[in-house]
Structure formats: structure tokens, C-alpha cells
Homo-oligomer: A and B are copies of this chain.
Amino acid sequence: MSGTHPASPDQAALLRDLLDRRLLIETGVPGVYGRGGDFERVRERLAVLVTRAAASEKPEQLRFPPIIPRSDLERIGYLKSFPHLAGSIFAFEGTEAQAMQQYDRASRNEDWSEFQQMTDLVLTPAACYPVYPAIAARGKLARDGVTVDAGGAYVFRREPSADPARLQMFHQREMVRIGEPDVVQAWRDAWRARALELLGGLGLQVELNLASDPFFGRSGRMLMTSQREQQLKFEVVTQIAGPERSAVASFNYHQDHFAAAYGMEREDGGPVHTACLGFGLERITIALFRAHGFDIDSWPAEVCDRLL
């Protein structure tokens, strides 16, 4: 089992507060929590706020379950960049006798992994991933491309942590833009400003940073440097708990990475690029409880007006 990243004293205190007030519910696994009614109310209203902010673009609504075909993970090279974060789904395909052995092991809390085989499914690592093959399957794109609202999908990251702001499964409220390079970049840049306004308007101290993904290993360091140099990733960060600020939204320009992986083409023959943006709904929710207190009824009026 992976080691759990320890919490700072500040993070540990925040987790205790969230559990005491039943905003989060312990399951026994770090980074996997249930959520109480007030937590969910805030999270759902945040999702609606993003829907409203996107309305003028009239995005196509697409939703996907938290699992995707294993072949998609393989095709986009996720295991090169983030092998440490992926979750794959295994299942049983044996005989009745093997099922009995598996159950016996499991009921003694012993290792039953040998009875499980890899399936054709993995957990969704990012809410936008199923969007690209779905759009590619439609054939050539019109010049103005596509804007997709992928909703607030659950995504998985295998990074157990005692920091309540680092979950193994959380909702990414994602939007995707597919089309001409200039249009896609301009879209991403416009959303950076819109997100700062949206989150700042909820009373959070936010800032936009150039960022990089947590690429794996030594070779990953080079990828991080290159990603920063090309200004492909930006994040909105805010102070939640602990020594560092946390990213609560990210804005990613993939150039032709996904378009090439899925053979996307434009009707006029020009290049197809993609960008996505994601709001981390649980992180923003936790940031709001940290900033305004654990009792929604005593939140500042202007925050309630905008959000609730």
C-alpha cells in the first residue's frame, strides 16, 4: 500500500474540524470521505456557478461515469507521465472453487489479489479524457470547433494524504475547447480571468500561477520545466491549510496532444488543438468553509447571495 502523505498540524486540525461538524465523514481510508448535507449544498452550488459562467458559450453538455476504457489510458500515454496516480480496475473471472478461496482469504483480511484479473476499465484520471474520443468519433470538425461542458465528474488520483484538501477521488468541474489553435488559447486565457473573478467574488484570496503537472520520476522533471517554459498550464491557488497554497482550478493547453492521439481533423484541413479547464469542487468547498467558518448560516451575505 502506498504511504500516506502526512498532514501539517494546520491540515490535521482542519480535517478534525470538518469531521467533527460532519461536513466530511470518515471512511477509514485517507483521502476518501463521505460528505454531509451542507458540504454537498456548497459543492453543488459551485457547480451551478460555473454552469452560469459558461452559459454564453452555449457548450454542449456531455457527462461521463468515473471509469473509462483502459485502451484510452494506454493511447494517450498517461502511464508515461503519471503511473503513480492511475487506478486500474480488476475483477474476478474464476470458478466457484476459486470464488470460495477468494472469499475465505478476504474474510480473514488476507491477500486475495491473485484471484483478480485486470479488466478493460480504469478509473477516470481527468474529467476531460472521455470527451476527446467522443468528439473524434463524430468525424471532421467544423472550423469553429466544439465547446463541451463535461459537468462535475468524479476523478481518481492515487495520492493518499492526511490533508483534507488532497482527496483520492473528487469532482472536477470541467470545460473543454476543441478547435483552431488561436481560438483554443484565447478561450483558455479568457477563462483564467473569469475564474479569478468567480472565486475572488466568493471571498477567497486567489492568485493565478504558472504551473506544471506532477510528472513522475527524474524524466518528469524535464517535462515540468518544458511545460512551464511553454506556459501550457496555469492554476488558481489559494491558502487552505498547511505551508503551501493549494490549486483550486487549472487551465491547460494541450496543443495537439489529444487531437493527435485520436486523429482529430478539421473540415478545412487546419490543425486541431485542445484546452481544458477544471475547478476542483471539493477543494473550493473546503477553502470556503475555512475562509468563512463551518456554519453556512453565518457566511458573509455577499457570498451567500452569489453562491447559495
Chain A residues packing against B (C-beta within 8 Å): 1-2, 25-29, 32-37, 39-40, 60-69, 71-74, 77, 79-80, 83-84, 86-94, 96, 99, 102-103, 106-107, 109, 111-113, 116-121, 123, 130, 133-134, 137, 151, 154, 156, 158, 168-170, 216-219
Q: Is A96's CB under 8 angstroms from B61's CB?
A: no
Q: Is B32's CB under 8 angstroms from A96's CB?
A: no
Query: How far, in whole Å, are A308 and B119 apart by their CA atoms in the complex?
Result: 38
Query: How far, in whole Å, are A74 and B112 apart by their CA atoms in the complex?
Result: 10
Q: What copy number does this chain have within its complex? A: 2
Q: Is B158's CB under 8 angstroms from A34's CB?
A: no
B residues near A29, Cβ cutoff 8 Å = 69, 120-121
B residues near A66, Cβ cutoff 8 Å = 66, 154, 169
Q: Is B118's CB under 8 angstroms from A90's CB?
A: yes
Tell me whether A37 and B25 are in contact in the complex, defined as CB-CB below 8 angstroms, given that A90-B116, A91-B86, A118-B111 are known contacts. Answer: no
Tell me whether A90 and B88 are in contact in the complex, defined as CB-CB below 8 angstroms, given that A1-B119, A36-B62 are known contacts. Answer: yes
Tell me whether A28 and B63 are in contact in the complex, defined as CB-CB below 8 angstroms, given that A88-B91, A96-B218, A103-B83 are known contacts. Answer: no
CB distance from A55 to the nearest CB of B (A): 13
Q: Is A77's CB under 8 angstroms from B107's CB?
A: yes
B40, B63, B96, B118: the one within 8 Å of A63 (CB) = B40
B40, B73, B133, B156: the one within 8 Å of A67 (CB) = B156
Tell me whether A158 and B1 are in contact in the complex, defined as CB-CB below 8 angstroms, given that A37-B61, A106-B74, A107-B74 are known contacts. Answer: no
B residues near A71, Cβ cutoff 8 Å = 28, 109
B2, B99, B137: the one within 8 Å of A79 (CB) = B99
Instruction: Indicate the member of A33, A39, A68, A92 with the most B CB atoms within 10 Å.
Output: A92
B residues near A33, Cβ cutoff 8 Å = 65
Q: Is B120's CB under 8 angstroms from A64's CB?
A: no
Tell me whether A112 and B67 are in contact in the complex, defined as CB-CB below 8 angstroms, given that A28-B133, A99-B216, A134-B25 are known contacts. Answer: no
Measured CB to CB, the nearest residue on chain B to A96 is: B217
Query: How far, in whole Å, are A94 and B71 apart by their CA atoms in the complex?
Result: 21
B residues near A1, Cβ cutoff 8 Å = 93, 119-120
Measured CB to CB, the nearest residue on chain B to A151 is: B40
Instruction: Indicate the member of A27, A29, A84, A168 with the most B CB atoms within 10 Å.
Output: A27
B residues near A113, Cβ cutoff 8 Å = 88, 90, 117-118
B residues near A121, Cβ cutoff 8 Å = 29, 32, 87, 168
Q: Is A119's CB under 8 angstroms from B158's CB?
A: yes
Query: How far, in whole Å, are A39 and B87 apart by their CA atoms in the complex?
Result: 28
B residues near A99, Cβ cutoff 8 Å = 79, 83-84, 216-217
